[in-house]
C-alpha cells in the first residue's frame, strides 16, 4: 500500500479520504489476495495461454468486491441481488481464484483451466458464481445497463448494484461509449463501472496502440461521477465503492493498477503470459 | 390465447403497423415486456408502445450494438425485451447478438423492420439482403418472416407465448398484401401451404408471396400446376414439410427478397440435400438495390414481379420436365 494517498475526486468534495478499514480486514484481504495470486500463477504455468498479467492487475479489485464489500447475492428475483460482470473477460483466472476462495469452485478444478472438460478460458454463465458470459470486449457495460434498468422497473435500484469491470485497452471499443452515454442519460445509478487501468493492451502500452484521452474528462463529460484510486489499495477501493453507493449518478472508478502485479519480472515487462521456466521465481 | 384476427387489426394494411399493434397487445397482457429502439421509434411503430407504456420503453439512440447488449441485460434480469430497429442496422450488431444474446440463449426478440427492398426510397445502404443468412446461422436464434399484417400480428403474439429464447422477426415496411387466411391460427415452425400443386413447388416468404401467387395464375394458363409454400419460419425449419413438397413435385423454386446465398434458398437446399435431393432454384436479388419511388420498381428491376417469376419458372420447368 502506498501510504498517504487519498481518493482523488474531480467532482469536488464528494469523495472523502478512505476511512480506516482496520488492520484485521486489511490483513484478511491481503492474505486472500496472496492465495489468489498463487492460484492465478499456477493456472498460468499449467496453461501458458492464460492471461496472467491482466488477471494480476484486476485481482485486488475483485478481492475488494467479494471480501471487503461483500456482494449481496441472495435475493430470489434476479433484480434482488448484486451483479458482477467481468467485461475484460480474459482476466477470468482472477475471478476463478476468488470464487475458489469463496468455495464456489473446487481448488483442483482450477488446474483444468482451458482444458476440454475444464474451466472456460473466458467467463461463461454456466460456471457457478459467474453471472454473465463475456469474452468479446466492449459488451459488458451495455448488459449492465439493461440489468440496472430491470432493477429500476422492479424498484430495487437503490438497494443493489451492477458492477462491471472493464480494461483500459477495452475502452477502444466504441460500444463502451455508446453504453456509457446510455447509462448516464438514463441516470442508472446502480451501475458501477470499474476500469482496471493497467496501461497495457494486447499489442503493447495503451498509449502506443490508441490514445485514450483524459479518462476523467471522457467519462465526466457524459455525466458520470468519476473516482480515481490506486487499484491495489483496498482501503481506497472500498471508499470508492461507498462513494458509488451514495451517488445519485452512475459512478466509474478508475483504478490504476500494474499488469502482472506481484510478479516482479512480469510487472516490469508489461507482459501477459508466463510459463514453466518462471515457476522457480515465485514458488518459494 | 390470441388467435384469429383481432378487431384492432381491421384496416391495418402495413406490416410494420401490425407489429406495432402486436407490441401494444403484449404490453397490455405481460408486464415483463420492455421495448427498445435505436432512434427509429416512429419508423418502427414502437412509438405507440412508448406512448402507452413510457416506463417500459427505452430509446437507446443511434447505437444498435448497445441496444442489443441492453436487451441482453434486461433478459438476464428476468424481463422480456423487444429490440426494434431497421434490419440493415441490426446487422451491425451481429457479433453482439451472437456473443451477448445467442450464446446465453437469452429471451430477446429482435424486431427487424424495413427489411429486404422495403425501404425503397433510401436505397442500398438501408436495404437488407443478407440478414436471413446472418441470423439463421446462429445456434439458438429462430428466424421468422411473416407474410402479411395479420400473420405478423399473430406471429409476434403467439411466439411470445410459446418461445423462450432469441427470435429474429424480419418485417417489411408497407407493401404487404394479405395472402394468408386472417382467421387461421399461426403455427410456429410449420410450413404453410397457400396453394396446392403437383408440377413444381414455390417456396417464398414475406411480401413477395403476393407476386408468387399471382405468378401461379400465369403458370396455370401454361398448364403448370404450382404449389406455393409460405416459409414464415425459416428456423427452426420444417424439414418434413419441405420433404413432402419435394416428393410431391420433384422440383423446387425459392423466391426471396434476399441474396440467393444463405437465405431461404440456402435453408431449403441444405435441408433437401440431406433428406430428399431434388433440383432447387433461387429467384432472388441480383445485386444491391438502389433508390426507387416504389418497392415494386425494385421488384421489377430484380425480376421479382409476378410475370418475371412465372417466365423464369417456365424456363426451369422446361429444363427438367418437358
Domain boundary among B119, B139, B170: B170
Please report whether residue B273 resides in a domain.
yes
Q: Indicate the residue of A79, A142, A185 with minimum beta-carbon distance to B77.
A: A79
The reply to whether residue A150 touches residue B72, judged by beta carbons under 8 angstroms, is: no
Q: How much is the pLDDT for B1?
A: 45
Q: Indicate the residue of B63, B73, B95 with minimum beta-carbon distance to A143.
A: B73
Q: Which residue of B has its CA nearest to A126?
A: B104
> What does the angle CA A196 – CA A202 – CA A205 come to, to the nearest 5 degrees?
70
Domain count, chain B: 2
The reply to whether residue B61 touches residue A139, judged by beta carbons under 8 angstroms, is: no
Residues of A in contact with B70 (CB under 8 A): 142-143, 145-146, 149, 179, 182
In a shared domain, residues B216 and B80:
no
Residues of A in contact with B66 (CB under 8 A): 142, 145, 175, 178-179, 182
Residues 156-175 of A with CB under 8 A from B: 174-175
Residues of B in contact with A175 (CB under 8 A): 63, 65-66, 69, 96
In a shared domain, residues B77 and B165:
yes
Cell of A22: 482496520
Please report whether residue B182 resides in a domain.
no
Please report whether residue B184 resides in a domain.
no
Domain boundary among B170, B200, B235: B170
A145 touches chain B (CB under 8 A): yes
Q: What is the ipTM of this complex?
A: 0.96
In a shared domain, residues B196 and B164:
no
Q: Which residue has the cell 496502440?
A: A209
In a shared domain, residues B12 and B95:
yes
Q: Indicate the residue of B34, B65, B73 with minimum beta-carbon distance to A145.
A: B73
Spatial separation of the C-alpha atoms in residues B248 and B183, rounded to whole Å: 27
In a shared domain, residues B28 and B89:
yes
> What does the angle CA A88 – CA A90 – CA A96 come to, to the nearest 5 degrees?
100
A84 touches chain B (CB under 8 A): no
Phi, psi of B89 (to 5 degrees): -90, -15
- The pTM score is 0.94
How far is A113 from chain B, CA to nearest CA, in Å? 20
In a shared domain, residues B143 and B216:
no
A43 touches chain B (CB under 8 A): no
Nearest to A68, CA basis, from A29, A34, A125, A12:
A29
Domain boundary among B139, B170, B201: B170
Q: Indicate the residue of A135, A146, A178 with minimum beta-carbon distance to B65.
A: A178
Please report whether residue B187 resides in a domain.
no
Please report whether residue B298 resides in a domain.
yes
In a shared domain, residues B120 and B216:
no
Q: Indicate the residue of B61, B74, B103 with minimum beta-carbon distance to A150.
A: B74
In a shared domain, residues B198 and B263:
yes
Please report whether residue B138 resides in a domain.
yes
Q: How much is the pLDDT for B11?
A: 86
Q: How much is the pLDDT for B6?
A: 74
Interface contacts A/B by beta carbons within 8 Å = 105
Please report whether residue B284 resides in a domain.
yes
Nearest to B263, CA basis, from B103, B109, B104, B87:
B87
Interface-testing mutation among A146, A155, A190, A193, with chain B (most B C-beta atoms within 10 A) = A146
A87 touches chain B (CB under 8 A): no
Spatial separation of the C-alpha atoms in residues A141 and A130, rounded to whole Å: 16
Contact at 8 Å (CB) between B260 and B284?
A: yes
In a shared domain, residues B11 and B152:
yes
In a shared domain, residues B141 and B69:
yes
What one-character-per-residue DSSP string does A122-135 give? Answer: S--TTSTT--S---
Q: Indicate the residue of B69, B75, B81 with minimum beta-carbon distance to A142.
A: B69
What one-character-per-residue DSSP string does B55-107 give? Answer: GGEEE--S-HHHHHHHHHHHHHTT-EEEEEEEHHHHGGGHHHIIIIIITTT--
Query: Residue B223 is part of a domain; what is its CATH number?
Result: 3.40.50.920
Q: Indicate the residue of A150, A179, A186 with minimum beta-carbon distance to B79.
A: A150
B55 touches chain A (CB under 8 A): yes
Domain limits at B286?
A: 192-321
Residues 224-253 of A with CB under 8 A from B: none
The reply to whether residue A179 touches residue B58, judged by beta carbons under 8 angstroms, is: no
In a shared domain, residues B202 and B247:
yes
The reply to whether residue B73 touches residue A142, judged by beta carbons under 8 angstroms, is: yes
Spatial separation of the C-alpha atoms in residues B135 and B142, rounded to whole Å: 8
The reply to whether residue B34 touches residue A149, judged by beta carbons under 8 angstroms, is: yes
Spell out the residues 6+ positions from residue A6 whose beta carbon is closer than 8 angstroms to its own.
A17, A18, A236
B73 touches chain A (CB under 8 A): yes
Please report whether residue B178 resides in a domain.
no
Q: Indicate the residue of A146, A150, A174 with minimum beta-carbon distance to B69.
A: A146
Q: How much is the pLDDT for B42?
A: 96
Per-residue pLDDT of chain A (284 residues), as tens digits, is 333 334 444 333 333 444 456 778 989 999 999 999 999 999 999 999 999 999 999 999 999 999 999 899 888 899 999 999 999 999 999 999 999 999 999 999 999 999 999 999 999 999 999 999 999 999 999 999 999 999 999 999 999 999 999 999 999 999 999 999 999 999 999 999 999 999 999 999 999 999 999 999 999 999 999 999 999 999 999 999 999 999 999 999 999 999 999 998 888 788 889 877 766 565 43
Per-residue pLDDT of chain B (322 residues), as tens digits, is 445 567 878 889 999 999 999 999 999 999 999 999 999 999 999 999 999 999 999 999 999 999 999 999 999 999 999 999 999 999 999 999 999 999 999 999 999 999 999 999 999 999 999 999 999 999 999 999 999 999 999 999 999 999 999 999 999 999 999 999 999 999 999 999 999 999 999 999 999 999 999 999 999 999 999 999 999 999 999 999 999 999 999 999 999 999 999 999 999 999 999 999 999 999 999 999 999 999 999 999 999 999 999 999 999 999 997 6
Spatial separation of the C-alpha atoms in residues A227 and A243, rounded to whole Å: 8
DSSP summary character for residue A257: -
Query: Residue B59 is part of a domain; what is its CATH number?
Result: 3.40.50.970
The reply to whether residue B71 touches residue A179, judged by beta carbons under 8 angstroms, is: no
A131 touches chain B (CB under 8 A): yes
In a shared domain, residues B225 and B137:
no
Amino acid at each position: 500500500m502506498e501510504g498517504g494517498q487519498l481518493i482523488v475526486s474531480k467532482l469536488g468534495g464528494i469523495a472523502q479520504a478512505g476511512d480506516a478499514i482496520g488492520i484485521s480486514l486489511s490483513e484478511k484481504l491481503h492474505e486472500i489476495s496472496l492465495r489468489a495470486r498463487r492460484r492465478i500463477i499456477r493456472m498460468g504455468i499449467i496453461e501458458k495461454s492464460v492471461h496472467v498479467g491482466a488477471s494480476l492487475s484486476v485481482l485486488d479489485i475483485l478481492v475488494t468486491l467479494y471480501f471487503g464489500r461483500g456482494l449481496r447475492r441472495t435475493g430470489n428475483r434476479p433484480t434482488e441481488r448484486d451483479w458482477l460482470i467481468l467485461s475484460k473477460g480474459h482476466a477470468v483466472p482472477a475471478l476463478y481464484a476468488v470464487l475458489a476462495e469463496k468455495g464456489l469452485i473446487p481448488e483442483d478444478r482450477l488446474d483444468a483451466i482451458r482444458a476440454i472438460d475444464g474451466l472456460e478460458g473466458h467467463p461463461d454463465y454456466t460456471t457457478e458464481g459467474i453471472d454473465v458470459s463475456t469474452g468479446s470486449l466492449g459488451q459488458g457495460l451495455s448488459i449492465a445497463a439493461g440489468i440496472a434498468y430491470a432493477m429500476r422497473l422492479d424498484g430495487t435500484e437503490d438497494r443493489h448494484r451492477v458492477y462491471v469491470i472493464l480494461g483500459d485497452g477495452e475502452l477502444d471499443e466504441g460500444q463502451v461509449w455508446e453504453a456509457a452515454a446510455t447509462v448516464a442519460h438514463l441516470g442508472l445509478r446502480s451501475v458501477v463501472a470499474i476500469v482496471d487501468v493497467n496501461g497495457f493492451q494486447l499489442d503493447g502500452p495503451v498509449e502506443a496502440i490508441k490514445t485514450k484521452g483524459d479518462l476523467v474528462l471522457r467519462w465526466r463529460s457524459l455525466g458520470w461521477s468519476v473516482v480515481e484510486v490506486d487499484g491495489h489499495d483496498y482501503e481506497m477501493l472500498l471508499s470508492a465503492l461507498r462513494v458509488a453507493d451514495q451517488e445519485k449518478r452512475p459512478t466509474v472508478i478508475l483504478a490504476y493498477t500494474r499488469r502482472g502485479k506481484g510478479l516482479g519480472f512480469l510487472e516490469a515487462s508489461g507482459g501477459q503470459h508466463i510459463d514453466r521456466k518462471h515457476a522457480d521465481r515465485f514458488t518459494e | 390465447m390470441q388467435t384469429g384476427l383481432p378487431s384492432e387489426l381491421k384496416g391495418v394494411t402495413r406490416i410494420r403497423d401490425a407489429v406495432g399493434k402486436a407490441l401494444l397487445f403484449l404490453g397490455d397482457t405481460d408486464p415483463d415486456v420492455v421495448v427498445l429502439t435505436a432512434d427509429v421509434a416512429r419508423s418502427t411503430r414502437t412509438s405507440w408502445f412508448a406512448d402507452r407504456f413510457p416506463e417500459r420503453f427505452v430509446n437507446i439512440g443511434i447505437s444498435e450494438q448497445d441496444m442489443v447488449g441492453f436487451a441482453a441485460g434486461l433478459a438476464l434480469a428476468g424481463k422480456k425485451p423487444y429490440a426494434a430497429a431497421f434490419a440493415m442496422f441490426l446487422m451491425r450488431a451481429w457479433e453482439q447478438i451472437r456473443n451477448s444474446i445467442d450464446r446465453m440463449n437469452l429471451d430477446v426478440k429482435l424486431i427487424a423492420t424495413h427489411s429486404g427492398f422495403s425501404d425503397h426510397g433510401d436505397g442500398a445502404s438501408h436495404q437488407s439482403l443478407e440478414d436471413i443468412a446472418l441470423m439463421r446461422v446462429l445456434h439458438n436464434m429462430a428466424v421468422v418472416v411473416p407474410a402479411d399484417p395479420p400473420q405478423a400480428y399473430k406471429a409476434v403474439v403467439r411466439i411470445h407465448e410459446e418461445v423462450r429464447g432469441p427470435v429474429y422477426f424480419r418485417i417489411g415496411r408497407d407493401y404487404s398484401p394479405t395472402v394468408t387466411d386472417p382467421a387461421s391460427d399461426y403455427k410456429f415452425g410449420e410450413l404453410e401451404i397457400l396453394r396446392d400443386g403437383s408440377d413444381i413447388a414455390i417456396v417464398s416468404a414475406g411480401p413477395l408471396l403476393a407476386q408468387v401467387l399471382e405468378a401461379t395464375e400465369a403458370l396455370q394458363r401454361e398448364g403448370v400446376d404450382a404449389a406455393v409454400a409460405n416459409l414464415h419460419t425459416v428456423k427452426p425449419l420444417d424439414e418434413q414439410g419441405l420433404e413432402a413438397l419435394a416428393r410431391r413435385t420433384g422440383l423446387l423454386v425459392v423466391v426471396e427478397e434476399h441474396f440467393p446465398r444463405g437465405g431461404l434458398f440456402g435453408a431449403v437446399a441444405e435441408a433437401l440435400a440431406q433428406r430428399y435431393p431434388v433440383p432447387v432454384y433461387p429467384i432472388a436479388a441480383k445485386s444491391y438495390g438502389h433508390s426507387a419511388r416504389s418497392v415494386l420498381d425494385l421488384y421489377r428491376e430484380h425480376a421479382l414481379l409476378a410475370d418475371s417469376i412465372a417466365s423464369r419458372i417456365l424456363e426451369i420447368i422446361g429444363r427438367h420436365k418437358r
